[in-house]
Structure formats: structure tokens, C-alpha cells
Amino acid sequence: MVRGYTSVSIPNSLLTEIDELVKNGDLGYGSRSDFVKEALRAHLLKVRNRKRGAGGDS
């Protein structure tokens, strides 16, 4: 599988919150990218589970 990356636009207010969480270091994120990737994975899992619960195919 070929791994690729893309850029996304994030409002400055969200970016500031993410940076504060990462800078604090208590949550174990090494970078804002690590935080965003984990947040996206968690949200995708939630959406998939909701879809399955509603009778979706995936």
C-alpha cells in the first residue's frame, strides 16, 4: 500500500487548542499531526459504528 499525505485547512482557533494540548505533553502526543491523525481515526470509527447500528453495510 502506498502511503500518501495531503493538507487540510483547520481554523486557527482549533489549531490553537490542539497546539496547547500537544505542548502540555500530558496526553502523550508528539506533534499536532499525531493528535489530528488519532482524532480522525477515532471519529471514523465512531461514524462506522453508528452506520452499522443504523443498518449500514460497512
Domain that holds residue 22: 12-53
Taking the model in full, what pTM does it have? 0.75
DSSP 1: -
Number of domains in the chain: 1
Q: What is the pLDDT along the chain (58 residues), one digit of tens a residue?
A: 678 999 999 999 999 999 999 998 888 999 999 999 999 999 999 999 999 887 655 4
Cα–Cα distance between 33 and 40 in angstroms, integer? 10
- Report yes or no: 33 and 10 within 8 Å, Cβ to Cβ: no
Residue 20 lies in a domain: yes
Residue 33 lies in a domain: yes
Cα–Cα distance between 6 and 4 in angstroms, integer? 7
